[in-house]
Amino acid sequence: MIEYHLDIQTQDGPMNTFVTHPEENGPFPVVLFYMDAPGKREELHDMARRIATTGYVVVLPNLYYRKTKEFVWDRTDAAMKAMFEMTKHLSLDLIMQDTAALLDFVDGFDAANSDRIGAVGYCMSGPFVFKAAGSYPNRIACAASIYGANLLTKRDDSPHLTAKNITGEMYFACAEIDHFAPIDTIDALERHLAKSQINYRLEWYPGAEHGFAFPGRGAIYHKPSAERHWERLHDLFDRNLKLDG
């Protein structure tokens, strides 16, 4: 495997980014990996590697780059407060600007086949990939929201409002126990998706809590659900991005 720590230029400055892909048999389809609220960290680097080893260029940016090159979340009350403060400066408009920069980067990256791009986001970045799929329908072939929060809101920029634009495949993994994405909100989302007539799958993970995919979450980590989500991700990406089999 080959790994890089690169600065990708954006409208607001350099966005430090982890990029990984196999050594041989490229160029490879692309997976944009959007971080969750605790930030870009080694745990996410390992998850990016797990995707990349099966034949992808995985691009994992630090979405907090406007404020800091590195955010450290150590589960203390102070870090939790700082994390929620950090998320407040992000907006879907800013993330779509950053997505444009990521697309420009992979278009010029020799190891990437940027004709085939997927995306995955966890928690706060679930709506990011949902919005990206609707904002860049000619670029994003598939996207997965893993226990995404704020997928359907009353705001004018809610990502569900651009769902009708999506031409790729969407996957939504929903934890049964999730105060960030309660059942009534997800039910409303599914009704909206059904009317949008896009290609999607929404799947509940019984008994799983918000954050179930991350081994570092202690008792919240639910290995059966985590492994199921990996199966779904690999199937989604292979089905949509590896068109030559």
pTM equals 0.94
pLDDT digits 0-9 by tens, 36-76: 988 788 999 999 999 999 999 999 999 999 988 887 766 67
What is residue 73's predicted lDDT score, i.e. its pLDDT?
67
Residues of the chain scoring pLDDT < 70: 73-75, 244-245
What is residue 86's predicted lDDT score, i.e. its pLDDT?
79
Kindly give, in sequence order, each residue whose CB lies less than 8 Å from that of residue 220, ignoring residues fewer than 6 positions away: 209, 210, 211, 212, 214
What is residue 76's predicted lDDT score, i.e. its pLDDT?
72
List, in order of start, the domains of the chain with CATH numbers: 2-241 (3.40.50.1820)
Residue 63 · residue 36 · CB < 8 Å: no
Which tokens is 143 given? 């996207």
What is residue 70's predicted lDDT score, i.e. its pLDDT?
85
Report whether the peptide linkage leading into residue 61 is cis, meaning its omega lies within 30 degrees of zero.
Answer: no
What is residue 167's predicted lDDT score, i.e. its pLDDT?
96
What is residue 208's predicted lDDT score, i.e. its pLDDT?
93
Report the DSSP beta bridge partners of residue 113.
Answer: 29
The SS3 call for residue 57 is strand
Report the DSSP beta bridge partners of residue 200.
Answer: 170
